[in-house]
Amino acid sequence: MSDAMVEARGVHKSYGGVEVLKGVDLTVVRGEVTCLIGPSGSGKSTLLRCINHLEKHDRGELRVDGELVGYELRAGKLYERNDKQICAERSRIGMVFQRFNLFQHLTVLENITIGQTKVKGVSQEAARAKARELLDRVGLHDKEKHYPSQISGGQQQRVAIARALAMEPKLMLFDEPTSALDPELVGEVLDVMRDLARSGMTMIVVTHEMNFAKEVANTVYFLDGGVIEESGNPREVLTSPKTERLQSFLSKVL
């Protein structure tokens, strides 16, 4: 087993003629936290969505846990994976969205059990037990009967993290998890993520929280215009940026 959880080599993606990713190379080491930073429209979210195949990349090689995303290499040919295989792949990759995307018609507890029971076939009992354990971990054990609309944004995002963790993912993707939150609610979500990082989870985080990146990330990648402009140790990259673009970006966000 190689120690790379995610490997991207020359990944391209366009939307209707507009090239969003123009050949991205990236390596995410197992058990490490990788932060993707960059201006909006730089392709950070698209790259994240290609990794769990919510978007199909057009060109290049993208591997998760050694396996090609969306394709299978057999006898020199790339076979597109069918829906079932893609779903199985996705179920092992947790994703947390900017706008939480909790299932509005289900209670907090049901949000966390539904993936376990319907996708993994876990019994209702076991799923509930696991959900309660996770709610405890994100500090929301008293909210299990609430509907998403009845709790704050920060609480919703913590539930969303618990929902993803319930699938026992080998990799967690965070797409600007704190961007839609009121400033005073950002901290509680970052705390949960810090805790998760400490537990050894492999994480890719698209974020504008530079302090979080500096403190938690092992590697940071700066994307601009669909390519990686700079990468490396966050303390070096974020404190003494080499490229002009990163310098001007950091001067705007810090």
Partner 1 sequence: MTTNGDAVKVVPVRHVGQWIGAGVVTLLVAMLIHTLFSKLPSGQYSCSLVSGVRTCHQISVWRFSWTIVGQYFTTSEILHGLVTTLELTVLAMIVGIMLGMTIAVMRLSPNRILSSTAWTYTWFFRGTPVLVQLLVWYNIAILYPVISIGVPFTHLTLVHFTTNTVFSAFVAALIALGLNEAAYMSEIARAGLIAVDEGQIEAASSLGMTRRQTLRYVVMPQAMRVIIPPTGNEVISMLKTTSLVSVVGVVDLLGAASNIYSANFEEMPLLIVASIWYLIVTTILSTGQFYLERHFAKGALRSPPPTPLQRLRRDLVGILSKFRSRRGTLEVVR
Closer Cβ to partner 1, 102 or 228, answer by number? 102
Closer residue to partner 1 (CB): 8 or 167: 167
Q: Are 229 and 223 in contact (CB under 8 A)?
A: yes
Kindly state the number of chain residues that form the binding site for partner 1, as judged by CB under 8 A: 34
Q: Which residues, other chains included, contact 66 with Cβ-Cβ below 8 Å and sequence gap of 6+?
A: 1, 2, 4
Residue with Cβ nearer partner 1 (151 or 210): 151
Is-contact 118 197, C-beta < 8 A? no
107 binds partner 1 (CB under 8 A): yes
Assess contact for 11 and 21: CB atoms under 8 A: yes
Binding range to partner 1, per CB under 8 A, among 19-27, 100-108, 192-200, 233-241: 100-108
Q: Which is nearer to partner 1, 34 or 53 (CB)?
A: 53
List the one residue out of 178, 190, 209 whose CA is nearest residue 139: 190
- Give the burial class of 210: count Cβ atoms within 10 A of its Cβ; 0-12 exposed, 13-18 middle, 19 or more buried: middle
CB-CB contact of 221 with 23 (8 Å): no
Q: x-or-dash pattern for partner 1, window 145-184, by CB under 8 A? A: --xxxx---------x--xx--x-----------------
Least distance to partner 1, CB of residue 235, Å: 31
List 25, 63, 103, 210, residue binding partner 1 (CB under 8 A): 103
Using CB under 8 A, which of the segments 69-77, 143-151, 203-211, 233-241 binds partner 1?
Answer: 143-151
The two tokens of residue 118 are 């319907």
The answer to the question of residue 91 lying near partner 1 (CB under 8 A) is yes
Rounded to 5 degrees, φ, ψ at 58 are -90, -40
Smallest distance from partner 1 to CB 246, Å:
30
Of 68, 119, 210, 250, which one interacts with partner 1 (CB under 8 A)?
Answer: 119
For the record, the structure tokens of 162 come out as 């618990």
Q: Are 224 and 252 in contact (CB under 8 A)?
A: no
Q: Binding residue for partner 1 (CB under 8 A) from 29, 68, 106, 250?
A: 106
Separation of alpha carbons 54 and 186, rounded Å: 26
- Binding part of the chain for partner 1, among 9-17, 70-78, 91-99, 207-215 by CB under 8 A, reads 91-99
Separation CA 164–CA 160 (nearest Å): 6
**Interface residues for partner 1 in 37-66 (CB under 8 A)?**
52, 54
Q: What is the distance between the alpha carbons of residues 7 and 28, in angstroms, rounded to a whole number?
A: 6
Tell me which of 87, 126, 129, 253 binds partner 1, using CB under 8 A: 87
The DSSP bridge pattern shows strands 18-29 and 33-37 to be unpaired
Could you say whether residue 207 binds partner 1 (CB under 8 A)? no
Structure tokens at 180: 């839609």
The residue ranges that bind partner 1 (CB under 8 A) are 52, 54, 83-84, 87-95, 97, 99, 101-107, 114-115, 118-119, 147-150, 160, 163-164, 167
